[in-house]
């Protein structure tokens, strides 16, 4: 998929969320993040041009690393950060998320927040299962013991991936958020 074109098609808006904006997720995320404290390390793979990272920063979480494969998305997010006079606020990197575990030390993050990235990986008919397990293994590797992988997905059927015996984490079905006639499922996976 051409993610640069997809981001460009979102128009001139500063932020665009294909799933849910931060306001819809905050009631579910706030208790999880509060458990780690404001100094927690947060990783947002496939950040796109979502407002989530900026809203987390506004709410006191300043150790946020955003990654996206789209250079257009990363460029727009960096511009938004400059416009807010927060040039040292968050990190933005244009990377393939499957390469991140090879570039970053393990056990670095308290929270990994996925909002639709795993769904996008599953759309690739040639490598969907292989890429999804590689992705989850990478995110598992990046999480500290006791850290939480947060998944926001449009499908309740993701449990078969999350509950695979490869991953020593407790899967919690957090709930469903209904928005514009669509159901979005939230899963929290706490690393043992």
Is residue 78, in this structure, part of any structural domain at all? no
- Number of folded domains in the chain? 1
Is residue 134, in this structure, part of any structural domain at all? yes
Is residue 71, in this structure, part of any structural domain at all? no
Q: What number is the average pLDDT over the span 127-151?
A: 95
Is residue 70, in this structure, part of any structural domain at all? no
The yes-or-no verdict on residue 1 having pLDDT over 70 is no
Is residue 184, in this structure, part of any structural domain at all? yes
Q: Are strands 63-68 and 91-94 parallel, antiparallel or unpaired?
A: parallel
pLDDT of residue 17: 77
Is residue 51, in this structure, part of any structural domain at all? yes
**Which residue range forms the structural domain that includes residue 126?**
20-63+96-191
For residues 84 and 131, what is the distance between their CA atoms, to the nearest angstrom? 35
User: What would the pLDDT profile of 69-126 be if each residue is shown by its tens digit?
Assistant: 999 899 988 988 888 776 666 899 999 999 999 999 999 999 999 999 999 999 887 7
Domain containing 175 — which CATH number?
3.40.50.150
Q: Does the predicted model carry a pTM greater than 0.95?
A: no
Is residue 111, in this structure, part of any structural domain at all? yes
Q: What number is the average pLDDT over the span 173-191?
A: 93
Q: What is the mean pLDDT of the chain?
A: 90
């Amino acid at each position: 998929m051409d993610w640069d074109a997809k981001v460009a098609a979102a128009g001139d808006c500063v932020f665009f969320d294909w799933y849910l904006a931060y306001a819809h997720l905050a009631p579910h995320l706030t208790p999880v993040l509060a458990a780690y404290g404001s100094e927690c390390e947060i990783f947002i793979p496939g950040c796109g041009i979502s407002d989530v990272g900026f809203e987390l920063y506004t709410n006191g979480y300043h150790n946020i690393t955003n990654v996206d494969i789209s250079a257009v998305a990363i460029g727009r997010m960096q511009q938004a950060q400059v416009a807010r006079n927060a040039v040292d606020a968050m990190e933005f990197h244009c990377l393939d998320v499957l390469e991140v575990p090879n570039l970053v030390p393990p056990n670095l993050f308290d929270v990994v927040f996925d909002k639709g990235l795993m769904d996008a990986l599953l759309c690739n008919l040639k490598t969907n299962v292989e890429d999804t397990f590689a992705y989850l293994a990478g995110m598992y590797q990046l999480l500290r013991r006791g850290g939480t992988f947060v998944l926001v997905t449009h499908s309740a059927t993701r449990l078969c991936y999350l509950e695979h015996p490869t991953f020593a984490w407790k899967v919690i079905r957090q709930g469903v958020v209904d928005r514009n006639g669509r159901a979005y499922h939230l899963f929290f996976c706490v690393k043992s």
